[in-house]
Chains A and B, each alone.
Chain A
Amino acid sequence: MRYPKRIGRLSVPGRKVQLATAAMLVATTVAACGGGQDGASAPKAPATIPELTKDPLTLSFIWFEWPPAQALEAFANAEYTKERPNVTIKVNTVPNANWHDAIFTQFAAHKTDFDIPILDSQHIGEAVTNGNILDITDFVKQNIDVNAYNPYLLAAYGQFPQAETGKRDENASLYGLPLLGDTWTMIYRKDLIGDKPPQTWDEMIAAAAKCQADNPGVSGLAFHQANGSDAAAVTYNTVNGVYGGNLWDPKSRKIEGVLNDAAGQEAMDVLVNKMKPLTATGSGNWFIDEVNAAVAQGKACIAFNWIAASGGLLDPKQSTLGTTREEILGKLGFATLPSQKTNLVPLGGMGMHVSAYSSEANQAEALNFMKWFQQADIQKKWAAAGGVPSRTDALESPEFLNAGPFNKVYADSVPRMRDMWNVPEYARLVDIENTNVNAALNGAKTPKDALNDIAKEQQAVLDSSGSKGGGGL
């Protein structure tokens, strides 16, 4: 048995050799990386769909892991194959937290294992600027009946540069078509606050406060507060919209002084000082699934969630509110968001795009799929299968309105929607907002500081394009 008696010397190995190798390798690297494309812009898709292959073909999507992804795969394989029997649809899914990264790392690799990326509407700017997705303006002109849509929906999921809220710029280019529409719905306990949903934001807060006081163990509100994805940011943006604030002035690219104006400050104050105290202890990292769990466990009077993520609430297996769907529906109501100074609601949902790095055969198939998907009867079938269509006729169809209690909420919300900034810097902007709103909600910053920090940091990101070094800190 011997015990430790010597501790060795540490040395840096062969410095000279390493330096020489370094120099060589750096030279090689410079040569290797120099070949990128300068001034990238999106390549154009053909106006008419090229001839489709008769060979077996797999059309791949990429989305994040949630029920609509499975619904899409099942729906497309059941219906699209009636027209194209040689095609198999595969919807790849990644964790929600990894959604943007997974798609854009593949874009960065200039090689994608998907043909149709399903992008958040605000990701379009980044993808277009980098030339990652096809410009389908001509294709849309030839193949899609644009008048069948609310123009803003078409713009939100496809247009870049971003359209003004509620409008579409007919001269702007299109890069995608709507796949799944979405917005927030207010979920309220009919058995606790009554059948009639609150109409204004003030009423909503008052009803939640009363409900919380009357029902020990049940908290007044449940909403997204997490600092990942776009959780806390959407929450603030929603309140900001309702209280008449603006996220930015797109023309002058100003955020500082716009976001944190009086309306913006009031919205932050309402969120942190009036709404947050009505939420459950430790709800500061809640996102979609936690809000759903709180509702299903009967722990919230009023909750806000994305419509597309609300289906599980009616599943008796996951709910303590009832043993049948009807019983649950007796307690849960779904309504459009209350309004205050404005009636704006957040635009959610995603569009379909075509990867610039897919093979020609797959791109042709992708275009064909998109054309097929936007037909009136297919949109109705998609609605019946649990999807949220975008064509006005489908939105007004009984197939859609009867498919779920929240579908009417969506149809009513369409004219009220507002999106975030759709710029290449989106990922950074939303992270700044997320972390700061989350900090304010959890007492790590005062509401005022948080809002001013958001404005200052986001402005710096918008202004820094073109400056040297240290970008992204």
Chain B
Amino acid sequence: MSDPVPLTTDHPGQVASATPPEPGWSRRLSDRWLTVAFISPALLLLLAMSVFPLLWALYLSFTDYSATRGGSAHFVWFENYTAILTSAQVHLRAFTTLIYVVGAVTLQTVLGFTIAYLISRRTHGRGLLTTLFLVPMMLSPVVVGLFWRFMLDAQFGVINSMLGSIGLGQVEWLTRQQTALISLIVVDTWQWTPFIMLIALAGLTAVPKYLYEAASIDRASEWFRFRTITLPLVWPLLLIAVLFRAIEAFRLFELVYILTSGGPGVSTETLSFHVYKVAFLGFNTGTASAYGILMVLIVIVLTQLYLRYLNKLKED
């Protein structure tokens, strides 16, 4: 904490000096009551807006319901699930998503950590630097997508213009299979590197100084200190940051929608984008629900495995 709460020991004194009020109606509220009164509104909202819809989707995933065709839903049980799991179309999107998630998260972790490390070694202007680096993260994905589409335009985009001025030819950033996926990864990395940077920076600045001092007395090499002091202490935080980014990247939709709309062909269609097409082009609500449930399941299972690995790492 960067002491957001200016706590000092003299507060209790101030507290005691205030005049206690007349006992009001609220005295009768027990702690138990308070707990229920304070927690239940939030929980009820979540039940209504998150749990209920998810259960509804779960029910629909076993049916052939279509939101536009009307008519009642017929149970098809696991037919939607088997169709999705065996569909080559889905496998293709899963593979695309995998490359994208791994590529983007790796790149932004390396970059984010590097920037954080460099910033943490500076004495002056750290606040300003951090703030400047944070700007991309604050922008709406829509703005980010539109703008990069403009910059990556093969004909009049500024990127190709700069490449041209150093003698390189035009690159088709958004209309070739490989470059389109790379472009998505680059744009996502541009926006979310600051996130990793923030968390890494927090970890780096929390490394106790005395450890370095002890190491410097031992005349340990810079790399040795980085490897044995800095990294082990920042590593757990970094791994959690990676988890967060991976989950976010897994559900990526906006960038694809705006930057490539899945093209060329379907080569940059992610799972999220495919769900959208199933749900809103043909209004195959049942199939789309099953697809979505499977995505949620994947997130939960992979997260569990990852966390278990983290816990093991910590125990060692």
Q: Are B264 and A131 in contact (CB under 8 A)?
A: no
Q: Are B278 and A130 in contact (CB under 8 A)?
A: no
Q: Are A473 and B71 in contact (CB under 8 A)?
A: no
Question: Looking at the complex, which one of B51, B70, B155 makes contact with A37 (CB distance below 8 Å)?
Answer: B70
Segment from B100-108, B125-133, B280-288 that makes contact with A? B280-288
Q: Are B154 and A435 in contact (CB under 8 A)?
A: no
CB neighbours (8 Å) of A132 from chain B are 68
CB neighbours (8 Å) of B171 from chain A are 282
Known: A4-B237, A425-B282. A282 touches B71 (CB 8 A): no
Segment from A27-35, A324-332, A412-420 that makes contact with B? A27-35
Q: Are B287 and A470 in contact (CB under 8 A)?
A: yes
Interface positions of A from 415 to 473, Cβ below 8 Å from B: 424-425, 427-428, 431, 435-436, 438-445, 461, 468-473
Q: Are A281 and B70 in contact (CB under 8 A)?
A: no
Q: From residue B287, how far is it (CB to closest CB) to chain A in Å?
A: 5
Known: A36-B71, A471-B286. A442 touches B266 (CB 8 A): no
Greatest chain A CB density within 10 A among B73, B90, B206, B266 is at B266
Q: In whole angstroms, what is the CA distance A427 to B276 when docked? A: 13
Q: Are B233 and A285 in contact (CB under 8 A)?
A: no
Interface positions of A from 200 to 253, Cβ below 8 Å from B: 226-228
Q: In whole angstroms, what is the CA distance A341 to B227 when docked? A: 73
Q: Are A445 and B265 in contact (CB under 8 A)?
A: yes
Tell me if B188 counts as interface (CB < 8 A to partner A).
Answer: no
Tell me if A101 counts as interface (CB < 8 A to partner B).
Answer: yes
Tell me if A262 counts as interface (CB < 8 A to partner B).
Answer: no
Question: Looking at the complex, which one of A101, A227, A470 makes contact with B83 (CB distance below 8 Å)?
Answer: A470
Q: In whole angstroms, what is the CA distance A163 to B59 when docked? A: 40
Q: Are A284 and B287 in contact (CB under 8 A)?
A: no
Q: Are A285 and B175 in contact (CB under 8 A)?
A: yes
Q: In whole angstroms, what is the CA distance A297 to B70 when docked? A: 48
Q: Are B175 and A105 in contact (CB under 8 A)?
A: no
Interface residue count for B (Cβ, 8 Å)?
75
Tell me if B55 counts as interface (CB < 8 A to partner A).
Answer: yes
Q: In whole angstroms, what is the CA distance A101 to B281 when docked? A: 7
CB neighbours (8 Å) of B83 from chain A are 469-470, 473
Segment from B4-12, B16-24, B25-33, B74-82 that makes contact with A? B74-82
Give the nearest-CB partner of A23 in chain B.
B55
Question: Looking at the complex, which one of B233, B281, B308 makes contact with A431 (CB distance below 8 Å)?
Answer: B281
Segment from B115-123, B189-197, B255-263 that makes contact with A? B255-263
Per-position contact with B for A1-20: 1 when CB-CB < 8 Å, else 0? 11110110110000000000
Known: A282-B170, A472-B278. A40 touches B70 (CB 8 A): yes
CB neighbours (8 Å) of A22 from chain B are 55, 58
Tell me if A47 counts as interface (CB < 8 A to partner B).
Answer: no
Question: Looking at the complex, which one of B78, B153, B284 makes contact with A472 (CB distance below 8 Å)?
Answer: B284
Per-position contact with B for A251-285: 1 when CB-CB < 8 Å, else 0? 00000000000000000000000000000111111
Q: Are A472 and B175 in contact (CB under 8 A)?
A: no
**B residues touching A (Cβ–Cβ < 8 Å)?**
51-52, 55-56, 58-60, 64-73, 76, 78-80, 82-84, 87, 89-90, 153-156, 160, 170-177, 203, 206-208, 233, 236-237, 240, 257, 260-267, 277-284, 286-288, 303-304, 307-308, 310-311, 314
Since A108-B68, A131-B70, A472-B281 are in contact, a sample of 5 more A-B pairs with Cβ atoms closer than 8 Å, ordered by chain A residue number, is A30-B59, A108-B283, A228-B261, A442-B172, A470-B80
A-B contact pairs, 20 of them (CB 8 A): A1-B206, A10-B308, A26-B59, A33-B60, A37-B70, A38-B71, A104-B280, A228-B263, A281-B154, A282-B171, A285-B175, A285-B260, A425-B282, A435-B263, A442-B175, A442-B176, A442-B265, A443-B177, A444-B176, A469-B83
